[in-house]
Amino acid sequence: MTTAPVQGVRRETKREDSILASRAPTEWSPADSASLYGLDEWGQGYFAVGADGNLLVQPDKDGGRRIDLHKVIQGLDERGITTPIIVRFKDMVAHRLREIRAAFDAAMADNAYTGGYSCIYPIKVNQQRHVCEEIRDIGGPLGFGLEAGSKPELLAVLGLTENMPDMPIVCNGFKDDEYVEMAILAHKLGRTITPVVERYRELELLIKHAKAYGVRPRIGMRCKPSARGAGRWESSGGMRSKFGLQVSGMIDAMELLRQNGMLDCLKMLHFHVGSQICDIRQFKNAVSELANMYTEMARLGAGMDTIDIGGGLGVDYDGSQSAWASSVNYTLREYAADVVYRIKAACESAGVAHPRIFSESGRAMVAYSSVLVVDVLGRNRYSSDPDMPKVRSLIAAEPDGAPQPILDLIDAYEGAAKRDPVELHHDAAQAYDEALSLFTLGYLSLPMRAAAERLFWATGRQVLARAQGQAGGDDLHEDLQVLPEFLSDIYFCNFSVFQSLPDSWAIDQIFPICPIHRLNEKPTRRATIADMSCDSDGKVDRFACVDHRDFKPVIEVHDLLEGQTYYLGFFLVGAYQEVLGDLHNLFGDTHVVHVSLDDEGGWEIDEIVEGDTVREVLSYVEFDHEDLERSVRRDTERAVKKGTMSVGDARSLMRFYEGGLEGYTYLE
Ligand SMILES: Cc1ncc(COP(=O)(O)O)c(C=O)c1O
């Protein structure tokens, strides 16, 4: 049974409340919006608000080179490309890669480190061809490389690196005979490729194929470190992790290589403690452990020259700069400095040359560069006016008059102005619960339940308005803290959480969300977000809180205006979301648009990759569109014959059906 909220979890929106309370609508400025939505914190300088209230993208953090996201969306709309759209900024990928390069260069210079560094892009983070090609083209000159985590990914990587003998390629993941043979052949082709041994069996295959093809491969070994990350990806590391060799297995593997005269081929030690490592201390411990393993392997005669610290470099999705799951308590500079220093310290104390460092920092490379823009299709609102004439007319139609809980709710609503808000809420919640119990037991009519709802929502709004006024920006009473969420609007948006924001659904990942226009207006509503899927999980009700380690259950939004589309942006969605998304309810891939800065200080649309059509998604689940058309056509003939449909109607239906098959899977 639904019950009224009396006690809530403590979920604050303190900073937002104080920003909203400090400005009248007429005083609201774009800077207030930037502060309210935490743009400067999670945006890392890539986003700003223009004087006209539009959201600006600064792909290279240069305030003089900006892309107006709202204008991009409007321009696309004029070209018939409608939201939802993923907008990808190539210049942002380039900037991010250069930032990573610069952070490691600075750390190496500070530590007189001579081993060198390469960032290796694991293509599983976003395998879209355009993204991989951009990273290859931008990363190549920076000395960066690519990682494949499976056989299909290796085939893609080999095709991507044509005539690029120096680009480092790392092969992770479980390997069968074919995968290993392909890696050996790639070595023969001239690629700088390092297959990483995750299981003893893979080493046997490597030795077999290396001998058969007369190749001395570069071999990597993945270890199971005792150090492990924390949070969601904790199980990626540690002794019981799915991947890698135990230390005892590593010793056996080295012995096998020695027996086959190939110990000098063992060049690289690899591990991965988990993705989105929030606390720098987890890296510090893990890197030290790895570095000491590396020096031991060198001492035992392996031909070591590279240490691969895996992925995990996190992204501050909520802007709180904390060790909370959607954030990180360190900067890129601190990460690079720690990694370089710890490897150098271990190697120097063991008298081993500085190795080349690889990091597989996929998320950190691409998360920022994509924004998902969606349109709001409508909203649900819980009114502060119960419409008393309507309530009284419903009561008048009841044969036995109003039941007691309804009278209590009327009493609460009408006396609201004079009552203490907390007491008022207790009374209203009690009466509403009683009304719901009576309904469930069959003693309350549907019209009376409707009256109870109207009165309860309206009283709740009064409670909240008065309590917020009294608290003056301070905490709400604990019992009232659930009301902002309970009474918030629901904004229905044209997208699928399962297709475009899967981590929001699957692992409660928080993504920053912000309107992309009207940011010079004070937002007057608070809302949760619902998608188009017919699944109650298809919603977003956890939003970034910049000032503390928690999420908030509602986001500040503008009221919808008649005749004007309202757009929301979901930011930092470039890593994992596009490729993990699924076809729930047959909502397919969205349109993807590549936008870049031009030479005249403006921007241009480089490419539009149209999203799936209905016909395409149906074919993914084995429907043949011609079969479907034929069966609907046969039914129209039957209907014409029966006289329930005219020939003209049948033609219209078929035209509509065929058009629908070729259309976008989202609402157009
Ligand atoms: C082996 C390996 N390397 C790299 C990564 C990329 O991690 P991230 O995107 O957190 O940097 C992963 C992802 O889990 C991984 O499993």
Are 364 and 144 spatial neighbours (Cβ–Cβ below 8 Å)?
no
Three-class secondary structure of residue 322 per DSSP: coil
Determine how many CB atoms are found less than 10 A away from the CB of residue 473: 13
pLDDT surpassing 80 at residue 237: no
Which distant-in-sequence residues (6+ apart) come within 8 Å of 252 by Cβ? 200
pLDDT digit string, tens, across residues 319-355: 999 888 899 999 999 999 999 999 999 999 999 999 9
The pLDDT assigned to 549 comes to 67
Name the residue with the closest Cα to ligand 1, atom 12.
311
Q: What is the pLDDT of residue 552?
A: 87
Token match 């309210």: residue? 36
Confidence of residue 466 (pLDDT cuts 50, 70, 90): confident
Q: Write down the mean pLDDT value for the chain.
A: 93
Sketch the domain layout of the chain as residue ranges.
Answer: 37-88+370-381+488-609, 113-360, 388-469, 617-662
Instruction: List all residues 6 or more positions away from 631 whose beta carbon is below 8 Å from its beta carbon.
Output: none
Least confident of 66-70, 461-465, 491-495: 461-465
For the cut 60, the answer to whether the pLDDT of residue 8 exceeds it is: no
Q: Is the pLDDT of residue 7 over 60?
A: no
The pLDDT confidence band at residue 10, using thresholds 50, 70 and 90, is: very low
Cβ neighbours of residue 399 under 8 Å, at least 6 residues apart?
none
**Mean pLDDT computed over 355-362:** 98
Which is it for strands 266-270 and 306-308: parallel, antiparallel or unpaired?
parallel
Contact by Cβ (8 Å): 355, 294: yes
Question: At a CB cut-off of 8 Å and minimum separation 6, what does 259 contact?
Answer: none
How far CA 467 is from CA of 401, 462, 486, 525, 578, in Å, comes to 33, 8, 15, 17, 42
Query: Hey, which of 121, 123, 125, 268 would you mutate to test ligand 1's pocket, going by the most ligand atoms within 8 Å of its Cβ?
Result: 125
Q: Is residue 169 a contact partner of residue 157, using CB atoms and an 8 Å limit?
A: yes
Please check whether residue 595 is in contact with residue 566, taking contact to mean a CB–CB distance below 8 angstroms.
no
DSSP 8-state assignment for residue 277: B
User: Which atom of ligand 1 lies closest to the CA of 314?
Assistant: 10
> How many angstroms does the Cα of residue 230 sit away from the middle of ligand 1?
14
Which residue's entry shows tokens 């890669």? 97
C-alpha 135: how far from chain center? 20
pLDDT digit string (tens) for 394-447?
Answer: 999 999 999 999 999 999 999 988 899 999 999 999 999 999 999 999 999 999
Is the CB of residue 500 below 6 angstroms from any atom belonging to ligand 1? no
Q: Are 171 and 148 in contact (CB under 8 A)?
A: yes
C-alpha to C-alpha distance for 285 and 274, rounded to whole angstroms: 13
User: CATH assignment of 37-88+370-381+488-609?
Assistant: 2.40.37.10
Q: Which residues pair with 245 in a beta bridge?
A: 223
Best probe residue, ligand 1, of 236, 360, 503 (max atoms within 8 Å of C-beta): 360
Nearest CA to ligand 1 atom 4: 311
Band the pLDDT of 263: cuts 50, 70, 90. Answer: very high
Q: What is the reported pLDDT for 1?
A: 42
pLDDT above 60 for 472? no
Task: Name the band, by pLDDT with cuts 50, 70 and 90, for residue 20.
Answer: confident
Does the domain made of 113-360 have the CATH classification 3.40.50.720? no
- The CATH class for the domain spanning 388-469 reads mainly alpha
C-alpha of residue 174 to centroid of ligand 1, in Å: 15
Amino acid type, 567? Y
Digit-coded pLDDT (tens) for 77-107: 999 999 999 999 999 999 999 999 999 999 9
Q: What is the mean pLDDT of residues 237-265?
A: 89
Show the DSSP H helices in 300-399 as ranges: 332-350, 362-366, 388-396
153 lines ligand 1 (CB under 6 A): no
Q: What is the DSSP string of 584-598?
A: GGG--PPEEEEEEE-
Report how far ligand 1's centroid is from the alpha carbon of 233 (Å).
10
Long-range pairs for 435-443 at CB < 8 Å and ≥24 separation? 435/403, 435/405, 435/406, 435/409, 436/1, 436/2, 436/3, 436/4, 437/1, 438/403, 438/405, 440/1, 443/403
Beta bridge partners of 530: 492, 539
Asked if the domains 37-88+370-381+488-609 and 388-469 are classified in one and the same CATH topology, the answer is no
Residue 633 has a pLDDT of: 97
Q: How confident is the model at residue 476 (pLDDT cuts 50, 70, 90)?
A: confident
466 CB near ligand 1 (under 6 Å)? no
Atom of ligand 1 nearest to the CA of 222: 1
Q: Which atom of ligand 1 is nearest to the CA of 233?
A: 14
Any atom of ligand 1 within 6 Å of the Cβ of 126: no
**Beta bridge pairs of residue 607:** 594
Residue 572 pLDDT exceeds 70:
yes
